[in-house]
Amino acid sequence: MGKLEEKLENYFNENYLPMHMPGHKRNINLLGEKLPYKIDITEIDGFDDLHHATGMIKDIEEKAKRLYGSKRSFLLVNGSTCGILAGIRAMTKYGDKVLVARNSHKSVYNAIEINNLNPIYLLPKIDKYGIDKNIDINDIKEKLENNKDIKLVIIISPTYEGVISDIKKVVEISHKYNVPVLVDEAHGAHLKFINKLSENEAINAGADIVIQSLHKTLPALTGTAVLHIQGEYVKKENIERELSIFETSSPSYILISSIEECLDIVKDKGEELFKNYEENLKYFYKETKKLKKLKILGNKILEEKTNNEDEYYDFGKIVVLTNNCKITGKELSDILRTDYKIELEMSSINYALAMTSICDTKENFDRLLQALIEIDEKLEKEKVKIVKEIEKTRKIEIKLPKKEIGILDAINNENIEFLDYNKLEGRISKEYIWVYPPGIPLITPGEEISIETIDKIKEFLQAGIEIRTTNNKFPKIEIIK
């Protein structure tokens, strides 16, 4: 059984006349070969159908299933986004109650909106650096006990910053209450192949639906992802139905080939690649212990290791803490970009985050290391004013905003006005207010904007962090009169 990519090449060489989509007609004389027009087809005879896979696409799904040990795996070409939308819709009915990690990605909130779900939030605690901790099992237990009508538990693991929850325990407790678990593992397609973390990869740990972006942490083209299911709670027909709603009806075969290539690389060469990767990471963490002012979160975790919880951290996420020196995370990220041509994944008030993968060479790690050493030498050891301020407020327990009306009701409300964000104390938002990246909401539609939220927004702005809203009219926010 040859690979899809070879079949696409062969098909091009056979010189079929394409009297069908796509409109580029593989005309490389006109368009050149810089982009892969030659192998860009969509569903034509003999090439299977992503929405009803029985042939070559089914074979790739089988590869994913075998690699991750699921009952069934679906290929996604619209990112984890479409898998999360489809997964949540497949597991809930309009108006159902769901238990949701508050630090969820916006696709989770979009699913809540579409199905008019009633979310009960799991609010993660934050650590002393302002980073969300893992899911508190007692919190899940208490909420399931007090809300016997919850139909689905939705959590994110790993988080953007690499914090992994104890999925085994989450599943154990949720299943006790007869509630299935969906894990947004968009940042964890590689966990299964990392020593010590594989057990806690969500499929291994028993989750019912798991969605992973292959493109985030494995060698695959942007937009590629997989949705895995297992157990008795999930009906594959429901997933298929929802994927046919949320996923394009013209899937790119280039992306599907990339999924196959990625799965094959991990299966055939993964052992060596992950071994090298873990060695490079160990080396990087060891060398960065020498930094005097900048600190690496992973090293702090290793130093302060006190309980099992600390084992669940993805060291592939390099979180550089700037809270003890005179720059913000955003400024560090800007220096790395302008002076060293190193582009990080994201930055926040007092940290910046570099994502790594098996495709990073030792030279890549060295380049980042040398840049950090040089920057560290020049830095003054003094806290930025804004960091001092937020460290004070961090000691105060964070609270969930007060929900006045449901997300969908707020969105449908036409009795609105636009006001400046700092005049909104006590008003109900009609839109989302996100910190960007990663796009976790400070406020969802229907929630009351408190003075604490306004202060939080000010803090982010002072540190140069972007605030986005649904209408893109910030600092004006649409509120319900």
Ligand X SMILES: Cc1ncc(COP(=O)(O)O)c(C=O)c1O
Query: For binding to ligand X (CB under 6 A), which residues are involved?
Result: 79-81, 105, 107, 156, 160, 184, 186-187, 213, 225, 438
- Shortest Å distance, C-beta 246 to ligand X: 11
- Shortest Å distance, C-beta 186 to ligand X: 3
Q: Between 191 and 335, whose beta carbon lies closer to ligand X?
A: 191
Q: Between 26 and 187, whose beta carbon lies closer to ligand X?
A: 187
Q: Between 82 and 266, whose beta carbon lies closer to ligand X?
A: 82
Nearest Cα neighbor of 86 from 229, 201, 257 is 229
- Shortest Å distance, C-beta 407 to ligand X: 18
DSSP state, 403? B
Give CA angle at 173 (172, 175), nearest 5°: 70
Q: Please state, as a whole number, how many other Cβ atoms lie within 10 Å of the Cβ of residue 40.
A: 16
Nearest Cα neighbor of 254 from 50, 15, 23, 18 is 50
Rounded to 10 degrees, the C-alpha dihedral 235/171/155/428 comes to 90
Nearest Cα neighbor of 320 from 312, 309, 331 is 331
Q: Between 56 and 197, whose beta carbon lies closer to ligand X?
A: 197
- CA 82, CA 105: separation in Å to the nearest integer? 12
- Shortest Å distance, C-beta 105 to ligand X: 3
Q: Between 105 and 151, whose beta carbon lies closer to ligand X?
A: 105
Q: Between 248 and 422, whose beta carbon lies closer to ligand X?
A: 248
- Shortest Å distance, C-beta 200 to ligand X: 16
- Shortest Å distance, C-beta 254 to ligand X: 16
The residue sitting closest to ligand X, measured at its beta carbon, is 79
Nearest Cα neighbor of 125 from 112, 106, 138, 107 is 138
- Shortest Å distance, C-beta 159 to ligand X: 7
Burial class (CB in 10 A: 0-12, 13-18, 19+), 441: buried
CA 124 to chain centre: 16
The phi-psi region of residue 337 (left if phi > 0; otherwise alpha if psi is between -120 and 50; otherwise beta) is alpha
Bridge partners of residue 155, in order along the sequence: 183
Q: Between 78 and 92, whose beta carbon lies closer to ligand X?
A: 78
